[in-house]
Amino acid sequence: MENISNIYLTDYIPTIYTTPCTMQYTQNGKTIERGIFAERNGVLIIVYNKTQNVLTLVKQFRAAAYLGCIPEQDRKGIIDTEKYPPRLGITLEFCAGLEDKNVPTEQIAREEILEECGYDVPLEKLEKVCTYKNLTETTGARTTMFYCEVTDDMRVSKGGGVDDELIEVMEMPVEKVLEYANASNVNSPMNFMFGLQWFLYHKYKHKV
């Protein structure tokens, strides 16, 4: 997971996943400009294994999280991985993915669980929680959050993602996840904290 080298920063290279642009508008007679980094919408799934009483999470290297740990003066050219080890960019998250297919959102969520976590979850086992906006200032994309309970006999593969994804599946007892989330520095996105709080309040409190 941490075998990462040859980290190099360049100017932005366009991809099919992001579209940078600037929006100009007039509000109350004042001209305003806002930079937007438009992204595709996505799904996030809270996966709870009730056989083992664990949350199924994914650990992976996130380039943006890594960059955020590097001072601005060192954000150019080749990055010194001795000074800034790649582990700084390894995050712990819920299973998630982009809406990159013309199929129902529930189907995308089901496929993400199978690809990343290795569980084959019937569509009727997916509970839609809500749809929310990500970073409203910069991306404006929406994420639809789901919840599902799985059992050991629903696992059909080890997971780990597809194509060039490098994902490590983490089966963590709820108490360990809480310990992690209560640390002074949590290397996880905000939707992880939101999803965890939702799970604790709406689901887990009824199990203990």
Model confidence at 3, in pLDDT bands (50, 70, 90)?
confident
pLDDT of residue 138: 87
Tokens of 124: 């009727």
Residue 201 carries which side chain, given as an amino acid letter? Y
Q: Say if 55 falls within a structural domain.
A: yes
pLDDT digits (tens, 9 = 90+) for 134-156: 888 888 899 999 999 999 999 99
More confident of the two residues 38 and 126: 126
Percent of the chain exceeding pLDDT 70 equals 97
pLDDT digits (tens, 9 = 90+) for 9-33: 998 888 888 889 999 999 999 999 9
User: Angle between the 174-181 and 190-202 helix axes, to the nearest 10 degrees?
Assistant: 130
Tell me, letter by letter, the H, E, C secondary structure of 76-145.
Answer: CEECCCCCCCHHHHEEEECEEEECCCCCCHHHHHHHHHHHHHCECCCHHHCEEEEEEECCCCCCCCEEEE
Model confidence at 105, in pLDDT bands (50, 70, 90)?
very high
pLDDT of residue 174: 95
pTM of the model: 0.92
Q: Say if 10 falls within a structural domain.
A: no
Residue 73's CATH number: 3.90.79.10
As a whole number, mean pLDDT of residues 102-107 equals 95
Model confidence at 207, in pLDDT bands (50, 70, 90)?
low
Q: Say if 36 falls within a structural domain.
A: no
Q: Which domain covers residue 64, as residue numbers?
A: 41-206
Of 37, 34, 33, nearest to 12 (Cα)?
37
Query: Is residue 159 predicted with pLDDT exceeding 90?
Result: no
CA dist., res. 119 & res. 115, Å (int):
8
Q: Is 112 exposed, middle or buried (0-12, 13-18, 19+ CB in 10 A)?
A: buried
Q: Dihedral angle at the C-alpha atoms of 58, 60, 63, 67, nearest 10 degrees? A: 90
Tally of structural domains, the chain: 1
Q: Say if 19 falls within a structural domain.
A: no
Q: Say if 11 falls within a structural domain.
A: no
